Structures are given as structure tokens and as C-alpha cells.
Amino acid sequence: MLETYFVLIQQVLALITLILGGALIIFIYDAYRMVRQPTLLYFTAGLFVLVIGIVLPDIAAIADPAETLTYWSAVISRILAIIGIGVMIFAVLRG
């Protein structure tokens, strides 16, 4: 019973993360359209990859709760988070 609530809470938090991340991406992209600075575009791409990486294990758990998929989704999630943060650091240093 407790596991059911835990999964539901994770899914709700993943949805909130996607909504807030998407809103932030839209705001940064709108700023890019105003100033046309490539740094903001790189930062937006990095943030997109980061947000997808954050919620990937939750999406995989909804799709198929098999143990192998759960393990690999966690690994790929970390890789995407590292790539997203790396792109964002590149954007800031390039700025």
C-alpha cells in the first residue's frame, strides 16, 4: 500500500518538474529571441537535456517497471544530467 503512494508521489513530482522546467525553458528562449545571443540558446538546450534527464527514471517506471529498465534509465538519467550541466557551463563560459 505504501509503495503505491510512493509511486504516485514520484509521478506527481516528475510532472511538476516537467512543468516548471518547461516554463523556465520557455522564458529563457523568449529572452533569446529578444537579444539573439547564442549563449541563451545553448543554455536553453542544456536545461532541456537536464530536465529530461531528471524525469527519465520516472517516465521509464511508468512505461515498464522491469528492474533492468529501471537500472538503465537511472544510468542514462545521470549521463543526461551531466551532459545538460556541461552544456550550460559551456554556455556561461562562452558568454
Per-residue pLDDT in tens (0 to 9) along the chain, 95 residues: 777 788 889 899 999 999 999 999 999 999 999 999 999 999 999 999 999 999 999 888 888 777 788 889 999 999 999 999 999 999 999 87
Whether the Cβ atoms of residue 24 and residue 46 lie closer than 8 Å to each other: no
| pLDDT value for 47 | 97
Report the alpha-carbon distance of residue 46 to residue 75 in Å, rounded. Answer: 18
Cβ contacts of residue 88 below 8 Å, gap of 6+?
A: 42, 43, 46, 47, 50
| pLDDT value for 95 | 76
